[in-house]
């Protein structure tokens, strides 16, 4: 099935740029989706037999029983076109060469050596197009003693330490509820590509940008990383409470729970005044004391919170100027007026499923002058493509 309309990406910060996305599953496709959100033309190259691996990842599937569509695939392939190419065939190789010659960016997440064996090493790609920026995402890095290991998100979460920090306690290590290693590798990869495109403006030449799932994980260790490298500690899971701030986390109340963030001593004073607690009580006078005595602090807070249902408690916290919130389910998030106001849910028209809602792009753009701001965020989006949906359109463009 093919829609004859050419790619409508005519707005956005990357309008006029072309991205060839050879990647599959999640890390590379997520990076490609970010480029598409920014207005680039993203051409997804897929295996004609089965397409991207994630087309078969489910349930859930939606659409007709004889043509089920994986919602997983939808999560990382908006704003793309699809061309089906057998890269082992002469036609596939020739078409890919033509795409590379026209592209600004090439995204790939093959295991090391696969593209070389297909005849598209980084050197070859840059020979075809010296201005090309190549994004290569691997599991463990392209070099080093474990470079050839297959990269999967949960394995990376474990190997790069994130699971050692996540869970209800030291004996309950948990993965994050989304494939965060894949997502962060895609985000860091896109960040690297944008820097390389800026550098190309000065040098006229492209380059190779490399990142990995484990690099993405280490890149977000943040203060937990310096606890290990500088303080010599071995951070472990602490549940829903901050390891260096107190009170900061999830606290139970009458029939529910709220989250509070008391991030400085001024907030602690206001919090105690609102709930008739003694801010200078033994073990509670400073943040360090409260962290050390967290169980007692938590018990004291939940004791006063027990008199409030969550809605009333949030009102009282807001009146006192204490940052607070609830824990929403995903359906609640996508119905939340604040999320909707930020463009975090979009509607696209899929050729099989029809109109459907997707999570929206996380960045907005504005022009600003003395009169105020005018939003320039791209609001027209392409549905995730069918396998090979744009073969004819893309081949026509290459021949033009």
State the catalytic residues: 182
- Any idea of the CA torsion for 69, 346, 6, 9, to the nearest 10 degrees? -140
- Structure tokens of 133? 């920026």
User: Backbone phi, then psi, for 169, in 5-degree steps?
Assistant: 180, 180
- Structure tokens of 26? 């999640």
Query: CB neighbours of 73 closer than 8 A, spacing ≥ 6?
Result: 52, 54, 55, 57, 384
**Sheet containing 248-253: order of strands:** 248-253, 256-261, 324-325
Contact 305, 251 (CB under 8 A): yes
Dist CA 400 CA 394 (whole Å):
10
Q: Which of 374, 335, 386 is nearest to 357 (CA)?
A: 335
User: Which residue's structure tokens are 């986390």?
Assistant: 249
Contact 42, 129 (CB under 8 A): no
SS (H, E, C) 13-62: CCCCCEEEECCCCCHHHHHHHHHHHCCCEEEEEECCCCCCHHHHCCCCEE
Pinpoint the alpha helices (H) of 230-309: 265-274, 287-292, 294-305
- Structure tokens of 392? 């004819």
Which DSSP symbol is given to 7?
P
């Amino acid at each position: 099935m093919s829609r004859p309309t050419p790619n409508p990406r005519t707005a956005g910060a990357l309008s006029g740029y072309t991205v060839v996305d050879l990647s599959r599953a999640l890390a590379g496709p997520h990076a490609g989706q970010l480029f598409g959100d920014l207005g680039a033309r993203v051409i997804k190259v897929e295996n004609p037999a089965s397409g991207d691996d994630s087309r078969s990842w489910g349930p859930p599937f939606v659409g007709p029983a004889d043509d089920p569509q994986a919602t997983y695939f939808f999560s990382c392939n908006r704003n793309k076109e699809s061309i089906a190419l057998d890269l082992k065939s002469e036609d596939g190789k020739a078409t890919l060469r033509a795409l590379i010659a026209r592209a600004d960016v090439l995204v790939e997440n093959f295991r090391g050596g696969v593209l070389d064996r297909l005849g598209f090493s980084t050197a070859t790609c840059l020979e075809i197009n010296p201005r090309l920026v190549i994004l290569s995402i691997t599991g463990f890095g392209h070099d080093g003693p474990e470079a050839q290991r297959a990269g999967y998100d949960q394995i990376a979460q474990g190997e790069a330490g994130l699971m050692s920090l996540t869970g209800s306690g030291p004996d309950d290590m948990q993965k994050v509820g989304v494939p965060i290693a894949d997502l962060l590798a895609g985000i860091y990869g896109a960040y690297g590509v944008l820097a390389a495109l800026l550098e190309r403006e000065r040098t006229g030449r492209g380059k190779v940008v490399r990142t990995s799932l484990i690099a993405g994980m280490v890149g977000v260790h943040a203060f937990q990383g310096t606890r290990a490298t500088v303080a010599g500690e071995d951070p472990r899971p602490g549940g829903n409470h901050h390891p260096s701030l107190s009170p900061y986390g999830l606290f139970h109340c009458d029939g529910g729970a709220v989250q509070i963030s008391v991030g400085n001593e001024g907030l602690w004073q206001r919090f105690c005044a609102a709930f008739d607690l003694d801010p200078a009580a033994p073990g509670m006078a400073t943040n360090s004391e409260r962290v050390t005595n967290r169980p007692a602090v938590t018990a004291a807070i939940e004791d006063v919170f027990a008199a409030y249902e969550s809605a009333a408690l949030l009102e009282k916290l807001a009146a006192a100027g204490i940052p607070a919130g609830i824990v929403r389910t995903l359906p609640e998030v996508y119905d939340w007026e604040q999320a909707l106001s930020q463009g975090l849910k979009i509607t696209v028209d899929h050729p099989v499923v029809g109109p459907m809602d997707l999570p929206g792009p996380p960045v907005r753009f504005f022009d600003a002058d003395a009169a105020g701001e005018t939003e320039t965020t791209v609001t027209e989006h392409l549905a995730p493509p069918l396998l090979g949906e744009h073969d004819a359109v893309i081949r026509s463009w290459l021949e033009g």
